[in-house]
Amino acid sequence: MLPVAPPAVRWITRTLEEAGHETWAVGGAVRDALLGRPSEDWDLATHARPKTVRSLFRRTVPIGIEHGTVGVLSRDGTLYEVTTFRKDVETDGRHAVVAFADTIADDLGRRDFTINAIAWHVVREELFDPFDGVADLRDGILRTVGEAEDRFSEDHLRILRALRFAGRFGLEIEEGTWRGARALVERLTELSPERVREELLKVLSDEHDPTRTLELYADSGALAVLYPELERTRSENPVGWCATLAAVEFLPKGRPDWRLAALLRPLPADEVARVLLRLRLSNARMDEVARLASAPPLPSDASTDADIRRWLSANGPQRLNALARLDLAFARAAWSDAGPSAGDRVEGPSSTLHAPARPESVVDAWCRARAIRRSRPPLSVSDLELDGRALISLGMKPGPHFGDVLEGLLAWVLEEPSRNERPLLEARALELAQALRGAAPGHWNG
């Protein structure tokens, strides 16, 4: 299928060409259009230098002037990236240093894979495909532009990009490309954590199944180099790894953090923390993913309402939906006919760390927990009808033990929410203080 560009892309192209500068649509949009997939990010490559581009359009944004990229705001309100032709001049494996170039041929020559190095002239409706990317697309082959080892040593990120594109489009990685990737896989550690993280998040937010890509991570050795903890669980428990990938896939693509938590779920908490630290996520995001990855499963059918309240209190009621979705994803992966362990049904679910409940019981537990949450029971110390000041007015001396008393009161109230009344709490607080005083003499003189 030939690419059909939005009218605004034609308008930008025509404007540049009328000023004497050859301009082509390049990259992902051309590839996706040839595959018959809708593409939104239409990038243009042009002979014009950034200054010229800025002078030709009324509304522009200097997105990355030093890399030659100017954002042109079209009348339909979309920002299109227009980038001056470039070529690699120097590379260190971590980044490619580029310079402006004069021809589209130069520009395509610095691109990573043949399928990403196809140019489409949206006005002349003409393809420029010097590396036979169209044939590779048709034959389902992922191949580097030029010698694989050279291209991968110029920028190691291209190894991960190869895995992602092959996984996303179900392409076979051409033999030389695969050999080159395998040969340089150890060098992935030289990449900045931010680039590695952004790649992983792209894999996890991929609209198409991330499973194939993650399996390619494993097969290529990239998993062992970047995520040795995951490689260990995979080799120790291949069925569990397979179930984990299926669980990732059962989670929505718009929730990469849930998917990341699912991927890390089989790991012990300290390893989860180590992986997240290495990825340099923000502290808040790291904390959230770690909590999702390491939370105990929802209380099962046999549990009491008090068990459910304790679970909500410990894990945060605001995480109920995310955690239920995670449990459900693992349950479906283990039990559904489509799941990887469908063949093991008679023997029960595959052994993952959190031996998953059946999907029906996760849904039951989720509904019960939602009903309990809606009844708004006290779930944290701040929900108690008694605070530190109240303890002082009971004659206790302030100190760190207040925390123990309040935690003790919360545990008592989680057991039975109707106990959350001032007089009952005061009486209980005195009992707790007494008990704690017995346990730790010297701390107490209240």
Name beta bridge partners: 24: 45
**Phi, psi values for residue 96, rounded to 5°:** -105, 130
Min separation Cβ 28 and Mg ion, Å: 4
Residue number with CB closer to Mg ion (83 or 294) = 83
Beta carbons of 231 and 194 less than 8 angstroms apart = no
Residue nearest to Mg ion (CB): 28
**Phi, psi values for residue 389, rounded to 5°:** -65, -40
Min separation Cβ 73 and ligand ATP, Å: 19
Residue nearest to ligand ATP (CB): 28
Pick from Mg ion, ligand ATP, none: which does 86 bind, CB < 5 to 8 A by kind? none
Min separation Cβ 162 and Mg ion, Å: 15
Residue number with CB closer to ligand ATP (49 or 208) = 208
Residue number with CB closer to ligand ATP (158 or 310) = 158
- HEC states along 55-112? HHCCCEEEEEHHHCEEEEECCCCCEEEEEECEEEEEECECCEEEEECCCHHHHHHCCC
Min separation Cβ 196 and ligand ATP, Å: 13
Pick from Mg ion, ligand ATP, none: which does 155 bind, CB < 5 to 8 A by kind? ligand ATP
Asked if 76 is part of the footprint of Mg ion (rule: CB under 5 A), the reply reads no
Min separation Cβ 307 and ligand ATP, Å: 44
CA distance 433 to 131: 78
- HEC states along 249-301? HHCCCCCHHHHHHHHHCCCCHHHHHHHHHHCCCCHHHHHHHHHHHHCCCCCCC
Asked if 28 is part of the footprint of Mg ion (rule: CB under 5 A), the reply reads yes
Residue number with CB closer to ligand ATP (40 or 337) = 40
Enumerate binding residues for ligand ATP (CB under 6 A). 27-28, 41, 111-112, 116-117, 155, 157-158
Residues in contact with Mg ion, total (CB under 5 A)? 2
Residue number with CB closer to ligand ATP (158 or 332) = 158
Min separation Cβ 305 and Mg ion, Å: 50
Beta carbons of 43 and 131 less than 8 angstroms apart = no
Per-residue binder mask for Mg ion (CB under 5 A), 32-51, x = binder: ---------x----------
CA distance 167 to 213: 4
Beta carbons of 229 and 269 less than 8 angstroms apart = no
Min separation Cβ 177 and Mg ion, Å: 20
Pick from Mg ion, ligand ATP, none: which does 401 bind, CB < 5 to 8 A by kind? none
Long-range CB contacts for residues 157-161, cutoff 8 Å, separation at least 24: 157/191, 157/195, 157/199, 158/112, 159/184, 159/185, 159/188, 159/220, 159/222, 160/188, 160/196, 160/199, 160/222, 161/112, 161/113, 161/199
CA distance 23 to 121: 7
Min separation Cβ 285 and ligand ATP, Å: 21
Residue number with CB closer to ligand ATP (155 or 257) = 155
Min separation Cβ 261 and ligand ATP, Å: 23
Residue number with CB closer to ligand ATP (157 or 230) = 157
Beta carbons of 229 and 267 less than 8 angstroms apart = yes
Quick one: which segment of 22-30, 132-140, 216-224, 294-302 binds Mg ion (CB under 5 A)?
Answer: 22-30
CA distance 292 to 283: 14
Residue number with CB closer to ligand ATP (116 or 341) = 116
Pick from Mg ion, ligand ATP, none: which does 116 bind, CB < 5 to 8 A by kind? ligand ATP
List contacts with Mg ion (CB under 5 A).
28, 41
